[in-house]
Structure 1
Amino acid sequence: MNDDTRRAPRRQVAEQVPVTDTMAEAVIGRLGNVSETGMLMICSVPLTPDGNYQFRFAIQGPSGQPVQVDVGAHLLWIEQSNAPGQSWAGFRFLTLSREHRDQLRAWIAEESSAV
């Protein structure tokens, strides 16, 4: 993994942001933290090691309205959490449109400027 991807600014996500597997059309977890290059997800379903996924999640847009973000992601690692039936999973984004990347970057910067 490229060290630069781990250095990308991350937003810790305290609110409940569900993540949908768009192929299964089912919520499979929620965001733990996110950068423009990847995310940590708290999963509630089993995942395929080293698998590729298509996800959708909503972030707050510039006017406060929800903005849907679609990403293609590669599962880098997965670990069982202390809660039964849940796991932590780290993903690297493979695809993310320029528009969604810009919106995600602004949302992440918004948290940084609030600190």
Structure 2
Amino acid sequence: MNDERRLHSRHNADVQLEVFDLHSGQRLGRIVDLSADGFMLFSDTPLAADELVECRLVSEQLIDGVGEITLGADCLWSRPGADGQHCWAGFHIIDLAEDQAAALEVLLKHL
């Protein structure tokens, strides 16, 4: 995905943000960068493009009272990591409640 298509600037996550599947609780990976409309994930397990996930973004520390955000995301692309075990995946946020969107804005201000 080229930079011209991005609506929002991406922020490299200095804060450790982990992503967990909302239903199974399985850890999907760690956020590498985050914007108001998507994120890139470094995952422990291969993810498929077009996979829809409902997930929790969990911060290792509270940021202005925000510790986690629940959202739905669509995996736009996925490619294997150099070791063949991990993968990189790009997600577009497709389902975000108003209060969760506000929480995401708080996080983005700190990245």
> Which residue of 2 is the match for residue 73 of structure 1?
73
State the secondary structure of the residue aligned to 2:6: helix
> Which residue of 1 is the match for residue 63 of structure 2?
61
Measured on the aligned residues, the alpha-carbon RMSD in Å equals 2.2
Q: How does 1:16-31 map to 2 (within 5 A)?
A: 16-31=16-31
* Alpha-carbon offset, residue 22 of structure 1: 1.4
Q: 1:19·1:27 contact (CA, 8 Å) conserved in 2?
A: yes
Q: Relative to total residues, which structure has the larger helix share, 1 or 2? A: 1
Aligned equivalents of 1:109, 1:16: Cα separation in 2:
14
Q: Taking structure 1 as the reference length, what is the TM-score of the superposition?
A: 0.80
> Which residue of 1 is the match for residue 98 of structure 2?
98
Q: Relative to total residues, which structure has the larger strand share, 1 or 2? A: 2
Aligned equivalents of 1:66, 1:6: Cα separation in 2:
25
> Which residue of 2 is the match for residue 33 of structure 1?
33
Aligned equivalents of 1:106, 1:66: Cα separation in 2:
7
11-20 vs 94-103, which moves further? 11-20
Q: Residues 71 and 8 of structure 1: is their aligned pair in 2 closer, same or farther, counting only changes over 3 Å? A: same
Q: Which runs of 5+ in 2 are unaligned?
A: none
Q: Taking structure 2 as the reference length, what is the TM-score of the superposition?
A: 0.83
Q: 2:50·2:77 contact (CA, 8 Å) conserved in 1?
A: yes
Q: Once the two structures are superposed, what CA deviation does each residue of 1:58-79 show, in whole Å capped at 9, x if it has no partner?
A: 23431xx452101100000001
Q: Once the two structures are superposed, what CA deviation does each residue of 1:6-39 show, in whole Å capped at 9, x if it has no partner?
A: 1313221134322101122110211111111110
Identity rate of aligned residues, in percent?
Answer: 23
State the secondary structure of the residue aligned to 1:8: coil
State the secondary structure of the residue aligned to 1:55: strand
Q: Residues 5 and 110 of structure 1: is their aligned pair in 2 closer, same or farther, counting only changes over 3 Å? A: farther
